[in-house]
Amino acid sequence: MKVLVVGNGGREHALAWKLLQSQQIERVFCTPGNGGTATLERCENLPVAVDDFEGIAKLAQKENISLVIVGPEVPLSQGITDYLQAQGLMVFGPNKMGAQIEASKAWAKALMQEAGIPTAKAAVFTEIKAAKSYLKSQGVPIVVKADGLAAGKGVIVAQTIVEAEAALDAIFGGQFGSAGNFVVIEEFLLGQEVSVLALTDGLTIRPLLPAQDHKRIGEGDTGENTGGMGAYAPAPVATPGMMARLQTEVLEPAIAALRKKGIDYRGVLYAGLMVAPDGEFKVLEFNCRFGDPETQVILPLLDTPLEELILACVQQRLGDMPPIAWKNGASATVVAASGGYPGDYTNGKVITGLQESETADTKVFHAGTKLQGLEVVSDGGRVLNVTAIGEDFKQALDRAYAGIAKVQFEGMYYRRDIGYRVLS
């Protein structure tokens, strides 16, 4: 079987790598892919942009692709699934209606409220005056969210009213484009975040191992938000008891609520959760796709062939599948970023030590890289994810750090404290 993976991040490299471990997978194409998928055996990059639906459909037909897996949220929210399905292709990833669960925070909040899913108390505004007076009535800290996809930059956790008002001015002032038509103001929740990615065929929903990301650029979770600087799985903060409750209080009600709206959701439903010190949890957001970098730590532990699970979702027979099988132990990834990220940075830095850093247990997933002649060069803010498995967190993290120490490029930056919560 031939599979097409849409996207060019570490997530897509990990998906292609995992798929190719199965004898059932003849070939993987990536549109557009990165330096990692370019050098992966039986994998080929094709220079088609993720929003060129017609180009992707033509390519899929020409190459006899059986299954398209969509990585990023942007094409999903633009209706790539609807388009490709109309061309007769089998697609893993929700349709445009379903992708609203990520693309509109106001829509997602309403769905959670209708379904009785535990989430932060919130109000939605379309008008700045009402939003500001609500702010004052609530006090700080408070969280202000632009409505649409804002690449992780649309959420402001404000410690003062001045900061919260500035956030509203920026959002209503159009700084986030159409994401500024609505704003969600919500209660600040204290605790530890955890990501639970679940696979669904629209009827059945099954969680993958919980993972914990590290979103801030600086050690000790300080500084600006990023796309994610490292992760590990399985995150112990999501206890078995919590995972059981999550199934009946979050995942199943979410799918039922989507079905009630006539949405046939087949793909990943990713719940971003805040777990309070007392163990109570609430949903911060839903995403409509695999997480990045969570996928990079979840897939190395997956024992069930990935394509079997994905096909079961697409063909709506996930309920007939045996339980998902996992390897024992733990997995960790450390992100190497370009100097200056998440601010300005320079691409095109030659990367060395990639082969030396890999072992039987350590794998480098490329994110922002590209192949330039025979060299791999940086081509994005988050450049590489050095990922390792081990018997426990300490071994997985030690291996990931031993691997990243062998990689070099000018200006390379990485956090030295990934996994600090599970090591102490």
Which residues of this chain interact with ligand ADP, rule CB under 6 A? 120, 143, 152, 154-155, 157, 186-189, 193, 215, 272, 284-285
Q: How far is the CB of 350 from ligand ADP (least distance, A)?
A: 32
Shortest Å distance, C-beta 223 to ligand ADP:
13
Q: How far apart are CA 314 and CA 265, in angstroms?
A: 9
Q: Does 75 bind Mg ion (CB under 5 A)?
A: no
Does the protein bind Mg ion through residue 291 (CB under 5 A)? no
Binder of residue 72, out of ligand ADP, Mg ion, none (CB less than 5 to 8 A by kind):
none
Picked from ligand ADP, Mg ion, none, the partner binding residue 215 (CB below 5 to 8 A depending on kind) is: ligand ADP
Instruction: Please state the closest distance from residue 133 (CB atom) to Mg ion, in A.
Output: 28
Task: Say whether residue 154 binds Mg ion (CB under 5 A).
Answer: no
Q: How far is the CB of 82 from ligand ADP (least distance, A)?
A: 23
**Of these, 272, 291, 342, 381, which contacts Mg ion (CB under 5 A)?**
272
> What single string gives the DSSP state of each residue in 177-223?
GGGGS-EEEEE---SEEEEEEEEE-SS-EEE---BEE--EEETTTEE
Amino acid at 19: L
Q: Does position 293 bind Mg ion by CB under 5 A?
A: no
- Binding segment toward Mg ion, per CB under 5 A, in 48-56, 137-145, 272-280, 372-380: 272-280
| Total Cβ atoms within 10 A of residue 278 | 7
Closest CA relative to residue 200, chosen from 94, 108, 313? 313
CA dist list (Å): 88 to 48, 52, 58: 19, 17, 11
Stretch that binds Mg ion, among 19-27, 157-165, 268-276, 379-387 (CB under 5 A): 268-276
- Residue 243 site contact among Mg ion, ligand ADP, none (CB < 5 to 8 Å, cut-off depends on kind): none
Residues in the chain: 424
Q: Which tokens hold the place of 230?
A: 């490292």
Q: At closest approach, how far in Å is the CB of 288 from Mg ion?
A: 12
| Nearest CB to ligand ADP, comparing residues 69 and 185 | 185
**At its nearest, how many Å lie between Mg ion and the CB of residue 372?**
32
Q: Is the peptide bond before 234 cis (omega within 30 degrees of 0)?
A: yes
CB contact at 8 A, 226 and 217: yes
Burial per residue of 220-255, b for 16 or more beta-carbon CB atoms within 10 angstroms, e otherwise? eeeeeebbbbbbbbbbebbeeebeeebbebbbbbbb
Residue ranges in contact with Mg ion by CB under 5 A = 272
